[in-house]
Amino acid sequence: MKPLLERIAAGEVLISDGAMGTFLYAKGLTAGECPESWCVSHPDAVKDIAAAYVAAGSDIVETNSFGGTAYKLGPYGFTDKVTEFNRAAAALAKAAIGQRGYVAASVGPTGHMVEDEGGDVNAQQLYEAFKEQVVALAAGGADAICVETMSSCAEAVQAIRAAKENTGLPVICTFTFEPGIKGFRTMMGVRPDRAAREAVKAGADIVGANCGNGIANMIEITKQMRAAVPDVPILIHANAGAPVVEDGKTIFKETPDYMASHVLELVAAGANIIGGCCGTNPDHIGAMARVLRSAAAQA
């Protein structure tokens, strides 16, 4: 199997996976329970989620490690479980996909801001927390590190640095943008073009966006990132639309067919890896994969 970056450089568009949390709750995760702990307490359930996405056509699956730093695990009483949980997360995803694709290890925000942005931690503290997590993910068999759902460039930079300096793996970094009067911005006010440039400057091999938007909005975000970093691969994980509360339940209304109908526009805008975030499932991934592979076969 060729390295991930080689396949993208050769012009291939790859399919990633979809939501993790939705699946975990469907399998019995309860409110207030630590999702990452399931990598140890319910390994078969976690592996089955990755396997379902592989069966749907994913070339890349993420790990159940989004909140895997000590900062996130601490409130659950699992500060000392960072290495165990993250190694298990990567190993389970690798067992599910084998040599059919790649494991992109999920690294989410710590929930803390750096002091320069009015927060309570310094850059070095963030770096050390991310380092502990990414070293364990690499040891578990990850093929890449996916720093995702970032809103602060300062935090993203420390996560990228920790991964580049301590794992030797390709690093993906995605931000979450919200639409507004002045265009797309993260919660910290960062534009897509700046996010892309800052991530690449810090060492990211792939940049992009996840969560926060349905697939149609992601087309414009992709265009802005592509203009800022013309030669850097872009990954997009769109939600299945904006969340809507009906009968006390949060639902996402973009259907697999709807999301698939925008895939080629996303590719034309500059996306190299396409998958899903909140509200998406193997049906969404399968529909998008079919459109992409049909187009590739006709090219």
Task: Assess whether pLDDT exceeds 90 at residue 128.
Answer: yes
Q: Give the pLDDT mean for 199-227.
A: 98
pLDDT in the model for residue 296: 87
Confidence bin at 140 (pLDDT 50/70/90): very high
Mean pLDDT (whole number) for 140-152: 98
Question: Beta strand pairing status for 144-150 and 171-175?
Answer: parallel
Mean pLDDT rounded to a whole number for the chain: 96
pLDDT for residue 100 is more than 90: yes
pLDDT at residue 43 tops 80: yes
Asked if residue 148 lies in contact with residue 109, where contact means CB atoms within 8 angstroms, the answer is no
Q: What is the pTM of this model?
A: 0.97
Structural domains in the chain, sorted by start: 21-233 (3.20.20.330)
> In sequence order, which residues have a C-beta less than 8 Å from that of residue 31 and are 6 or more positions away?
none
